[in-house]
Structure 1
Amino acid sequence: MLQTIDHELLRTFVAIVDHGGFTHAAKAVNRTQSAVSMQIKRLEEDVIQRQLFERQGRRMLLTSEGTTLLGYARRILDLHGEALTMLRQPDMIGKVKLGVPDDYVMRFLPGILKSFSHHWPLIDVEVHCAPSSVLLNRHKDQLDLSIVTREVGNEIGEILLQDQTVWVVAGSHTTHQQSPLPLALFEEPCFCRRHACNALSRVGLSYRVAYSSPSLATLQAVVGAGLAVSAWMKSLVTPGMRILDEADGFPPLPDASIVLLRASDTPSPAVAGLAQHIIEEFKL
């Protein structure tokens, strides 16, 4: 009769790999270190009958057999979790339509989707990328959830984060010293664009909007190449960018709010689940 593998042994095995050793794995699976050691000994000697780990100093390295088992173990545990989700909470399946500006795709979306997929692997997430102004017009009838940017004091929905709007320039360039000042700004309508232009006009700085795009990635590329100065939220500033302030002759800009919009006051469990994961990600 074909021998089976206890999924708890596999869970401990994967935890050792993911957490880099027996000590941290023991905390992850809520067992003592000696219990974890006994589980691996049982897995190696009684079930697999192969050595799964070898020590190199303080490091635990997988043997070739351990590497083979790891792939199968992850698949088995994923299927186990998927089956329990389906049987225990059959309402947590379906599709959620999420609207988000591309500003936040790289900064926030990976963590949100990874966490959500881990807990609810059977829900399909349909991501719609568009500027906040477009999402505001679509969120009621075309989207379940939307993450958008709003002016402070003009928020609707649930505030996820309030952030400072800052001037940015490539750290290795002096583009901010040019006159007229070349700007790379979001397309109209965008209140960050309006605030930036108004602020420069108030202090008498001559400028021109040299580049305009709905995409943050495009603006980052333009600024990174030393072609222009831009303005966006501080949480979106990437390495290699320098923040300009009043010491550089640049006026302060108003803060902005990132908010979560729900299309319905009585969302499905799937929509409510994703909303909660979004909220938790912005707390980090």
Structure 2
Amino acid sequence: MHLVSLDIRTLRSLISVVETGSITETARRLGRSQPAITLQLQRLEELTGKVLFQHEGRRLSLTTDGDIVLTYAKSILRMHDELLSQLAAPEIEGHVVLGTPDLYAAFMLPSILNVFRKSFPRIQVELNCALSTPLVGLVKRGEVDIALVTRMNDFTGGQVVRQEQLVWMTGDRSVAQRERPLPLALLPPGNIYRDHAIAGLEAARLRWRIACVSESVSGLQAAAFSGMAVTVLGRSALVGRMREIGAQEGLPALPKVDLLLYKSPGATSKAALALHDYLAHYLSLEGELPQSGDLPFQQQQQDNRANYYD
């Protein structure tokens, strides 16, 4: 069997093209030319001996073989970046306060923080779970060093690091979706998850009522598990004993929301900078937004090493 070697940058381009559906957008996001991205994809098809993409109008989509390559590409990139981080992470120590809603703390951050802890064992991360609006105030006042939050309509600043698809959910044996008015388990007023759910139902002229209000995702899940209500959460929070529902049940489509990463103006320590960079990189890698560049993460860290040691 003839062995081939796949280039890491080509795999990054593949993932971005799949996420954006566009070579043009991938070229813009990765800072490369369109012909360069096209050549990378052609070379990848030559090396694998498979047709990876098919055209659906003006958008590219993956073939069955393309889906297989994409799955492995994501795993290879994660292992590649984690290895480089393990081998070359600077010996930084310190204490960082990270604020985020419990939804992201429970379903999005554990794997990233686990890798960070192994790479930077001397950094202590204190987790502060709260709703997005108060967290933005805390980070701007310097009471929280870094915050990962959902973008609300009145938010300013912050770095968009990921998008999360909102979905309707209920318990796997629940029939709450058949009730009218529709019983809802929602976050408190002022939260965009709640706003999108109600706006969608109003636009579809579906009657609804509030069955549960909870600042915690566990409260919303309890209402869904018990069959009391239908809730709206990010798709990453879809767990066992819950199922996604939608158009088949007559419910309106929901949008994606932006996740913002904030850093306090006073969070200039080496530890805070390291955690901020890690979150920005890995959240973008797993989400539907571009990679932070065409360089491996650890090389980016080395290029910016002066930020940590000055």
By the TM > 0.5 criterion, same fold?
yes
Could you tell me which residue of structure 1 aligns to residue 106 of structure 2? 106
Indicate if the aligned counterparts of 2:149 and 2:259 stay in contact, CA closer than 8 A.
yes
SS at 2:190's partner residue?
coil
Question: Which whole-Å deviations, capped at 9, do the CAs of 1:198-234 have from their partners, x for residues lacking one?
Answer: 2112222111111001101111121011110011111
Tell me the CA shift for residue 150 of structure 1. Answer: 1.0
Could you tell me which residue of structure 2 aligns to residue 181 of structure 1? 182
Relative to 1, partners in 2 of residues 1:246 and 1:151: Cα closer, same or farther, differing over 3 Å?
Answer: farther
Which segments of 5 or more consecutive residues in structure 1 lack a partner in the other structure?
Answer: 1-80
Q: Does 1:225 align with 2:226?
A: yes
Q: What TM-score do you get using the length of structure 2 for normalisation?
A: 0.59
Question: Which whole-Å deviations, capped at 9, do the CAs of 1:28-53 have from their partners, x for residues lacking one?
Answer: xxxxxxxxxxxxxxxxxxxxxxxxxx
Tell me the CA shift for residue 280 of structure 1. Answer: 3.4
- In percent, how many aligned pairs have the same letter? 31
Indicate if the aligned counterparts of 2:174 and 2:224 stay in contact, CA closer than 8 A.
no
Structure with higher Rg: it is 1
Relative to 1, partners in 2 of residues 1:279 and 1:133: Cα closer, same or farther, differing over 3 Å?
Answer: same
Question: Which whole-Å deviations, capped at 9, do the CAs of 1:153-186 have from their partners, x for residues lacking one?
Answer: 9663122211211111112121100111110000
1:159-178 equivalent positions in 2, closer than 5 A: 159-178=160-179
Could you tell me which residue of structure 1 aligns to residue 251 of structure 2? 250
SS at 2:151's partner residue?
strand
Tell me the CA shift for residue 113 of structure 1. Answer: 2.2
Could you tell me which residue of structure 2 aligns to residue 211 of structure 1? 212
Could you tell me which residue of structure 1 aligns to residue 192 of structure 2? 191
Could you tell me which residue of structure 1 aligns to residue 203 of structure 2? 202
Question: Which whole-Å deviations, capped at 9, do the CAs of 1:103-162 have from their partners, x for residues lacking one?
Answer: 111212322222122122122111111000110111122111000001589663122211
Structure 2 Cα separation of the partners of residues 156 and 250 of structure 1: 33
Indicate if the aligned counterparts of 1:123 and 1:270 stay in contact, CA closer than 8 A.
yes
1:70-149 equivalent positions in 2, closer than 5 A: 89=91, 92-140=92-140, 141-149=142-150
1:56-75 equivalent positions in 2, closer than 5 A: none
C-alpha root-mean-square deviation of aligned residues, in Å?
2.3
Indicate if the aligned counterparts of 2:158 and 2:261 stay in contact, CA closer than 8 A.
yes
Could you tell me which residue of structure 2 aligns to residue 279 of structure 1? 280
Which segments of 5 or more consecutive residues in structure 2 lack a partner in the other structure?
Answer: 1-85, 287-310
Structure 2 Cα separation of the partners of residues 266 and 223 of structure 1: 39
Structure 1 Cα separation of the partners of residues 271 and 226 of structure 2: 42
Structure 2 Cα separation of the partners of residues 152 and 256 of structure 1: 11
SS at 2:254's partner residue?
coil
Structure 1 Cα separation of the partners of residues 240 and 93 of structure 2: 39
Paired residues, number:
198
Structure 2 Cα separation of the partners of residues 139 and 265 of structure 1: 9
SS at 2:253's partner residue?
coil
Structure 2 Cα separation of the partners of residues 155 and 258 of structure 1: 12
Indicate if the aligned counterparts of 1:181 and 1:208 stay in contact, CA closer than 8 A.
yes
Whichever residue aligns with residue 168 of structure 1, its letter is: M
Q: What TM-score do you get using the length of structure 1 for normalisation?
A: 0.64
Indicate if the aligned counterparts of 1:167 and 1:229 stay in contact, CA closer than 8 A.
yes
Whichever residue aligns with residue 134 of structure 1, its letter is: P
Relative to 1, partners in 2 of residues 1:96 and 1:166: Cα closer, same or farther, differing over 3 Å?
Answer: same
Tell me the CA shift for residue 266 of structure 1. Answer: 7.0
Could you tell me which residue of structure 2 aligns to residue 21 of structure 1? none
SS at 2:196's partner residue?
helix
SS at 1:127's partner residue?
strand
Structure 2 Cα separation of the partners of residues 150 and 166 of structure 1: 17
Indicate if the aligned counterparts of 1:224 and 1:241 stay in contact, CA closer than 8 A.
yes
Whichever residue aligns with residue 169 of structure 1, its letter is: T
